[in-house]
Amino acid sequence: MAFEFLKPVSDEVQAHAMLQPQHAIGNVIKIHTAHTGLPQLKDVQMVLVGVLENRRDENALLQIKNVDQARKQFYELFPGNWLLNIVDMGDIHPGDKVEDTYYVLQQLTAEFLTKKIIPIYLGGSQDLMYPIYRAFDDIKYMINVVNVDCRFDIGDIELPISSRSYVGKMVADQPYNLFNYSNLGFQTYFNSQDEIELLERMYFDATRLGVLDEDIKLAEPVMRDADVVGG
């Protein structure tokens, strides 16, 4: 089971959660700790997982503390008027090889999807979108992927996968499960004309950052139809 690869949330973050007001998320969410172990997933609708893998991103600055800082900020919020059971499952640490992390992430995502639980991953480089996408292979045929980014991340499919080429791998690699790819917030000067024309030929969607700034509601139908969202 992929759950055995999950490491507990740090003591510092647990202490921060306990300091929050009674009804804040930090005092409502169930947390994977070294003392209590993994929480039960019965009646859980959403899980939070930190991913500490960024070896395929040359510009990545991710450190463990960045993921923990995001957790702290999340714990300080208050839940809305909705019934949603959330669990913080802890962290996926880098494997000996990047492919090891890909395998764990794919298996873990597939487990959550099978249990009808939505996983939210904190941290990691964008190439991790690929194993998340591959987790749908035996669960759902043809999915919609949304990328919130200034770049399309198509890249050169002949080169090894990276944070700048994972979309190209989704398009080119079998099994072909990509029904639609949408980009929100691209900026023309970060993308080659060849990539822009390729998206048009494949009838994929792309909305410029300036257009979204003028009318953010344009993102709503794209996000609503998404099976996977990354950024």
Domain ranges for the chain: 1-124, 143-231
Number of C-alpha atoms within 13 angstroms, CB side, residue 67?
Answer: 24
pLDDT at position 81 is: 87
pLDDT value at residue 14: 95
Question: Which phi and psi (to 5°) does residue 220 adopt?
Answer: -60, -50
What's the pLDDT at 92?
A: 95
Q: Which residues of the chain fall below pLDDT 50?
A: 62
Give the per-residue pLDDT at 156. Answer: 87
The gap from C-alpha 106 to its chain's centroid, in whole angstroms, comes to 12
Rounded (to 5) percent helix, strand, coil in the chain: 40, 20, 40
Which pair of tokens denotes residue 144?
């919609």
Q: For 115-160, what is each residue's pLDDT tens digit?
A: 999 999 998 899 999 999 999 999 998 999 999 999 999 988 888 8
Q: Give the largest Cα separation in the chain, rounded.
A: 54
Give pLDDT, residue 87. 97
Q: How far apart are CA 135 and CA 131, in angstroms?
A: 6
Q: HSE of 201 in the Cβ direction (CA atoms, 13 Å)?
A: 7
Give the pLDDT of residue 60. 63
Task: State residue 59's pLDDT score.
Answer: 67
